[in-house]
Amino acid sequence: MKTLTLLRHAKSGWDDPVARDFDRPLNPKGQRAAAMVGRHMRALGLGFDHVAASPAVRVIETLAQVAAGYGRDLAPEWDQRLYLASAATLLDLVHELPEGADRVLLVGHNPGLEELVLLLADGGGALREAVETKFPTASLAELRFGDVAWEAISGGSAALARFIRPRDLDSSLGPDTP
């Protein structure tokens, strides 16, 4: 069975005066959320044969914090194509995944990640409805496929097994209230 886990970068700092969107760092809340998600991934026993990630600063920092919580380096393969990728581009990347990797983690950005989950997940259900409502920063979605090659993955071919938002783990990591 193939498992594809999608992780959106944690909350970044819009107040940081960087010249390019690509260079935006995490804010303190994002750092806390990423570490919390890493600890939860460890508690769930999630493991990965392959990790691919956008090289944007906020993704690099997210993975550093996730790794701190997870307890080990995730050793990502940095792929520029993941930066702000559309669902179609992400699906192309899924089709290129190494066949020997059964458990893959992709780390990137919205709206592409959310759209990919909605494209690949079969049927409805509460998890899909939650993704449709919002795929917040530092959220993780796990898609499970049958015994199929990555290159054969298509729309509606996955079961959405998990959708974990930081606020599900710690209410203080939920949306800011005015």
Instruction: Note the pLDDT tens digit of each residue in 147-172.
Output: 999 999 999 999 999 999 999 998 88
Compute the mean pLDDT over every residue in the chain, rounded to the nearest whole number.
94
Q: Is the pTM of this model over 0.85?
A: yes
Where are the chain's structural domains? 2-173
Q: What is the CA radius of gyration of the chain?
A: 15
CA dihedral 31, 33, 35, 36 (to 10 degrees): 160
DSSP one-letter code for 117: H
Other C-beta atoms closer than 10 Å to the C-beta of 110 total: 15
What is the pLDDT averaged over residues 61-83? 97
CATH number of 2-173: 3.40.50.1240
